[in-house]
Amino acid sequence: MVKFFKYLLATFAGGLVAAIFLVLIFIGILSAIASSADKEAKIEENTLLILNLEGPISDRVVENPFEDALAEISGNPAAEGLNRILANIEKAKRDENISGIVLETGLLSAGYETIEEIREALVDFKSTGKFVYSFAPIYTQKGYYLASVCDKLYLNPGGMVELNGLYAERTFFKGTLDKIGVEMQIVKHGKFKSAVEPFMLEEMSEPARLQTEVYLNSMWNHLKDKIATARGVDVALVDDIANQMPMLRDPQLLLDNKLIDGLKYKDEFLDELKQLTETEAKDDLKAVNSSKYAKVYVAKETKGFIRDKIAVIYAQGGIDDGSGSGIISEELSKTIRKARRDSSVKAIVLRVNSPGGSALGSEIIWREVELAGEVKPLIVSMGDVAASGGYYISCAADKIVAGPTTLTGSIGIFGMIPNVEGLTEKIGLSFDGVKTNEFSDMPSLTRPFRKEEKEIMQAYIEHGYDIFIGRCADGRSTTKEAIDEIGQGRVWSGANAKEINLIDEFGGLNKAIELAKEAAGLENYRIQELPEIEDPVQAFLKGISGEAKMFIGKSIMGDEFKHLQTLESLKNGAQIQARLPYDISIR
Residue 198 is which amino acid?
Answer: P
CA distance 143 to 141: 5
Question: 350 and 382 in contact (C-beta within 8 Å)?
Answer: no
Note if 193 is an active site residue. Answer: yes
Q: Read off the DSSP letter of residue 494.
A: H
One-letter amino acid for residue 542 of the chain: K
Exactly one of 193, 224, 309, 517 is catalytic; name it.
193
Task: Say if residues 404 and 506 touch (Cβ distance below 8 Å).
Answer: yes
Element (H, E) at 20: helix 2-35
Instruction: Give me the DSSP letters along 116-185.
Output: HHHHHHHHHHHTTT-EEEEEEEEE-HHHHHHHTTSSEEEEEEEEEE--S---------HHHHHHHT-EEE
Cis ω before 443 (30° cut-off from 0): yes
Bridge partners, residue 418, by sequence: 184
Task: Tell me how far apart the alpha carbons of residues 88 and 363 are, in angstroms, rounded to a whole number.
Answer: 36
Query: Could you give the CA distance from residue 302 to residue 130 in angstroms, rounded to a whole number?
Result: 23
CA atoms lying within 13 Å on the CB side of residue 425: 10
Backbone angles phi, psi at 387, to 5 degrees: -120, 155
Per-residue HEC secondary structure of 283-334 comes to: CCCCEEEHHHHCCECCCCCCCCCCCCEEEEEEEECCECCCCCCCECHHHHHH
* Annotated catalytic residue, options 388, 394, 410, 569: 388
Contact 446, 419 (CB under 8 A): yes
Residues 6+ apart with CB under 8 A from 503: 382, 400, 401, 402, 406, 408, 494, 497
* SS3 track for 366-420: HHHHHHHHHHCCEEEEEEEEEECHHHHCCCCCCEEEECCCCEEECCCCEEEEEEC
First CA to last CA distance, the chain: 62
| Biggest CA pair distance of the chain | 87
Q: Is 388 a catalytic residue?
A: yes
Task: List residues with catalytic annotation.
Answer: 193, 388
